[in-house]
Amino acid sequence: MATLHLHSVLPNPTSLKSTKPTTSTRRRLLANSVRCAEATQVTGETQRVTVRNGNDSLDICRVLNGMWQTSGGWGRIDRDDAVEAMLRYADAGLSTFDMADHYGPAEDLYGIFINRVRQERPPEFLEKVRGLTKWVPPPVKMTSSYVRDSINVSRKRMDVASLDMLQFHWWDYANTGYLDALKHLTDLKEEGKIKTVALTNFDTERLQIILENEIPVVSNQVQHSIVDMRPQQKMAELCQLTGVKLITYGTVMGGLLSEKFLDTNLNIPFAGPPLNTPSLQKYKRMVDAWGGWSLFQALLQTLKGIASKHGATIPNVAVKYILDQQAVAGSMIGVRLGLSEHIQDSNAVFSLTLDEDDISSIQEVTKKGKNLLKVIGDCGDEYRRA
């Protein structure tokens, strides 16, 4: 298997086999997951949603603060400034933070932050704060002790007795050890070390296998944007059937889906804003795979028109469009803690409503792009195919 970075994009053509559930599988999944499907709900306040599978549940903010940006490549993060920024986001209602074991100091920052919350905010405020992390292990034998020790590292760094959500990533599907790992994670959930078990970057076929093995996952975190609609082509059908929700990242494409890149020509050296972060470089490759910069400019022009109509911004429209897709519980917006902030803009998503004309205008442009399911493969395949 090729060694890939977790945030790389390798858009190679692939041939895909159908993974739509068979009739017998549908009945089995419905029987196992009906409680999940019935109980996953958006709360009365549009900012939060509850994801649930059986007796496991977690309410989160529908706009999540993504902390990949703490891992380096976006500027030096000052610890104290970062924690102060986290408090400002939480004070504004944006109180769900997404991180990973390999995002530099992200889990440690959360540990400092949550202690500040415990000391300086009322108990009811603490109840709204969520820390979602990911575990991305090497492809070694998944023993109970190995899984337990790994999860204990995150619990210690985040300074919590129980992880709100553990999102599991696996590199090589040929190694079915991912099922062993998930069963051990489920055991840790039963012990109270984890509140909810979830996935990240799993494809539809493996999600179906995991559910058939009665692993109570509540969500799958996948790349999903106006440009990358792959999750709606296969994954969403299974999610609708079983109640598993999608948490999306790459929704504003590292900032490409913004006014900053409107009316720019990146084909001319130094003519546009520099692609000077790992996320901008990653999602520029996605634009190239989808249809190129000229088509992307047409999309930005369309989004700008919609944004102006509603008194909003291009990122607002981009996020709201994905939040309105089936099975989507929440969308990630990256935060450069202590370096820049977009609190007001993120909260503006909740008051935006896209009408039928807006949706039709967007789809009129996006239908001209390539089908990334055929170019790249299903959700997460960009990390597994060389």
Label the pairing between strands 96-98 and 63-66: parallel
* DSSP assignments along 316-339, one per residue: HHHHHHHHTSTTEEEEEEE--TTT
- The fraction of the chain above a pLDDT of 90, given in percent, is 78
Q: Which fold has domain 48-253+323-354?
A: TIM Barrel (3.20.20)
Separation of alpha carbons 234 and 10, rounded Å: 20
- Sign of torsion over alpha carbons 295, 301, 306, 307: positive
Please provide the average confidence, as pLDDT, over all residues in the chain. 89
Domains of the chain by residue range: 48-253+323-354
- For the chain, report the end-to-end CA distance as a whole number of angstroms: 8
Would the pLDDT of 26 be above 70? no
Query: Under a CB-based contact definition with an 8 Å cutoff, are residues 185 and 147 in contact?
Result: yes
**1: confidence class by pLDDT, cuts 50, 70, 90:** very low
Q: What is the pTM of this model?
A: 0.89
Mean pLDDT over 334-363 rounds to 94
Per the CB < 8 A criterion, the answer to whether 164 and 120 are in contact is no
Is the confidence at residue 5, as pLDDT, over 70? no
- Contacts for 115 with CB less than 8 Å, ≥ 6 apart: 159
Q: Cβ-count burial of 125 within 10 angstroms (0-12 exposed, 13-18 middle, 19+ buried)?
A: middle
For the record, the structure tokens of 213 come out as 């093995």
pLDDT reading at 12 higher than 60: no
Buried-exposed string 158-190: b where 16+ CB fall within 10 A, e elsewhere? bbbeebbbbbbbbbebeeebbbbbbbbbbebbe
Tens-place pLDDT, residues 188-230: 999 999 999 999 999 999 999 999 999 999 999 999 999 999 9
* Angle made by CA atoms 53, 54, 55, in degrees to the nearest 5: 105
- Radius of gyration of the chain measured on its C-alpha atoms: 20
User: Tokens 């022009």, residue?
Assistant: 301
